[in-house]
Amino acid sequence: MGSKDSFGKAARAAQENPYLQRLLEDEDLRSNLLATYDAARSAYGRLSNGKPPTQALFEDEKLHRELGRAIGSLRDATSALREAPAAPTRSGRRRRGALRTVLVLGAGAALAMVLNERLRAKVLDLMFGAEEEFDYTSTTTPATPEPAGVAA
């Protein structure tokens, strides 16, 4: 019976949350968030195409456009969200501060993953398991060279 009560509390909290209400009601906000996600995903795909990330960041014009699109969409979404709450309460300020901290930490972690190949490999190993190392050893022997004094 306790889980029904906690579910009801969660549903009431969601109904009272002005950010969630804004997200549900504002189609422009949803489209900005989806555009941000799509552009960031595309930029990540361009970053992980085999080139070193630093080279891609400095030389890839399409990556620059995708990052610009992601930043622009995110700016639009955050400005729309700023308009959502009517009067933030004290606990709302704390949540907003915690949300800002989580967003900054997430952005820092994403940037660290993009720029540090060893960190990226470690995270991928943790997520998908370590890659098997493949050492090739030939079972054939190399052809022996003919002596230098013998003409062919």
- Whose tokens are 């970053």? That residue is 47
pLDDT at 70: 86
**pLDDT tens digit string along 24-36?**
788 888 888 888 8
CA distance 73 to 33: 7
Domain positions in the chain: 7-86, 91-129
pLDDT under 70 in the chain at which residues? 1-5, 84-96, 132-134, 149-152
For the beta carbon of residue 120, count every other beta carbon within 10 angstroms: 16
Q: What is the pTM of this model?
A: 0.44
**Gyration radius of the chain over CA positions:** 26
Tokens standing for 16? 């009272």
pLDDT at 150: 60
pLDDT at 140: 80
Long-range contacts of 20-29 (CB under 8 A, 24+ apart): 21/84, 22/80, 22/81, 22/83, 22/84, 26/80, 28/76, 28/80, 29/77, 29/80, 29/81
CA distance 24 to 19: 9
Query: Are the beta carbons of 73 and 36 closer than 8 angstroms?
Result: yes
- Whose tokens are 């995270």? That residue is 123
**pLDDT tens digit string along 117-126?**
888 888 778 8
pLDDT at 95: 66
CA separation (Å) from 60 to 5, 48, 52, 121, 123? 53, 12, 11, 22, 25
